[in-house]
Amino acid sequence: MPYARSLLAAAFAAAGAFASAPALAQASSCQDAQKFLGERQGIIQQINKLGGEGKKKQVDPRDACAVFTKLVANGNAGTKWIESNKDWCQIPDQFAESFKRDHGQAVEMRGKACQAAAKMAEMEKQAKAAQKSGAGRLGGGGLTGEYKMPQGAL
C-alpha cells in the first residue's frame, strides 16, 4: 500500500507540473518586456548623446537617422509584445497608450532625420559634381586661390 501511495503522489505531482507549465511559460514571457525596455533605454541614451547632453550641438542627420531607425524597430517589437501580452501580464492601459504614443513620435522623428540625411547626401553629391566640373560656388569658373596683379603702372 505505501508503494501505491507514493506512486499516486508522484502521478499527482507530475500532473501538477504539467498543469503549471503553461503558466510558467507565460510568466517568463512577461519578463521579456525587460529585454526590449532595457534596449530602448540604451537607444534613448544614444539619442541624448547625439545632442551633446544639455549643450546645443549640431546633430548629424545620418547619425540621427540610424539611431531613430533602431528606436523604431525596438518600438515595433515592443508594441507587438504589448498587444499580445497586455491582458496576461496585466499591463496598465496608461502604459500601453503611452508606449504607442512615444512610438508614433519616434516614427515621425525618424522620418524627419532620414529625410534630412537624404537631402544632405544629395547636396554633397551635387557639390562633388560641381567641384569636378570646375564650377565655383557662384556658378563661374570657381575660385582658384590665385589672383594676378595687373601689369603696368597703377
What is the four-CA torsion angle of 80, 74, 98, 63, rounded to 10 degrees?
-150
d(CA 105, CA 72): 9
* Residue 108: count of CB within 10 angstroms of its CB: 12
Domain boundaries along the sequence of the chain = 30-126
Please give the single-letter amino acid code of residue 117.
A
The yes-or-no verdict on residue 83 having pLDDT over 70 is yes
Query: Residue 145: pLDDT band by 50, 70, 90 thresholds?
Result: low
Q: What is the DSSP letter of 154?
A: -
The yes-or-no verdict on residue 10 having pLDDT over 60 is no
The CA-to-CA distance between both ends of the chain, in Å, stands at 128
The yes-or-no verdict on residue 92 having pLDDT over 70 is yes
Residue 138: per-residue pLDDT: 52
Phi/psi for 128 (5° steps) reads: -65, -40
Residues 47, 67 contacting (CB under 8 angstroms): yes
Residue 119: per-residue pLDDT: 92
d(CA 95, CA 37): 12
